[in-house]
Amino acid sequence: MSVCLAYDGTINGDWVARHAVRLAAGDASRRLRVVHVETAEVPARTLVEKLDNIRLIAANAGVAVDVEICAMHDGVVGGLVEHLGAEPEILVVTGVRARGGRRGFLAGTVSAELLADTTFDVVAYRVVQPGTLGVVRRLLLPLAGGGAGHQAAEHMLRLLAHDVKSARLLHVIELAAGRLRRLSAPDAAALRRQGEAFLHGIEPTISAAVKDDVALDLAVRISTEWSREVIIDAAQQKIDLIALEASRQVLARGFRYGDPFETLLRDTPCDVAVYRSAAHHGG
């Protein structure tokens, strides 16, 4: 699977490019395709300078870069899909808004459209720690109950494995506030055992995607809101990247201001990668 950066020419896009380079460094081809859809927003001279900088960063990581400029077709997403359509075995790397505001970080963005389009595997980055230069040593994988997300997590891990030193699998069991208040200690222990059994069932698949010397940790939390638990855990564990799946349910509902995904993207203490597998990969 090749890695393709959907590059918009912004500073935020420059930060996302660092992550794309590290992903490409984990692919056997060690090649990064950089696709820019022509718009009037980025002056040609600026774009050339920025693309040269990406080439330099990639060269230092031992990654070759192929730059492709394409025209819009029913918008930016249409241009990308038309340009890449003949080659579905691609991971498209993109970024969310640099600042959320009342619009949120994902709602109405090119990234949200790409995540909803199931032609390619897609990962959208929120970069809050550009100083890490895209290098992920400590990885947090919040995992829900579906199967496709675990496959997508495995794909991500294989590309990140050359950098990762520790990976933490987190399963949050969500309960309504009233039920959580009435939850007895034996019932809480039973729920945690269920969560641990769920993670132990996934652990072999995840372990196979990382190097033997990677420390793999499992954690279960019970809460009224999964995003808050992820934020707290990431801060406590000094995580470099939170990588989580955008499920079919989330994509069907859309990314709305104030929902858990937007809360995580707004309050995260570290970079976040929201991924989704293509339809032919089970996503």
pLDDT tens-digit readout, 236-270: 999 999 998 876 566 545 566 567 888 899 999 99
Query: Which pLDDT band, with edges at 50, 70 and 90, does 101 fall under?
Result: low
Q: What span, in angstroms and rounded, lies between the C-alpha atoms of 195 and 207?
A: 18
Using 50, 70 and 90 to split pLDDT, how confident is the model at 194? very high
Element housing 276 (H / E)? strand 271-276
Q: What pTM, to 2 d.p., does this model score? A: 0.91
Supply angle C-alpha 73, 97, 156, rounded to 5.
Answer: 85
Please enumerate in sequence order all residues whose Cβ is within 8 A of that of 82, keeping only pairs 6 or more positions apart, or say none.
Answer: 70, 73
Exposure string for 185-203, b = 16+ CB within 10 A, e = fewer: eeeeeeebeebeebbeebe
pLDDT in tens, 66-84: 999 988 887 888 888 888 8
Share of the chain above pLDDT 70, in %: 88
Give the residue-averaged pLDDT of 120-148.
Answer: 87
List CB contacts of 194: < 8 A, sequence separation 6 or more. 173
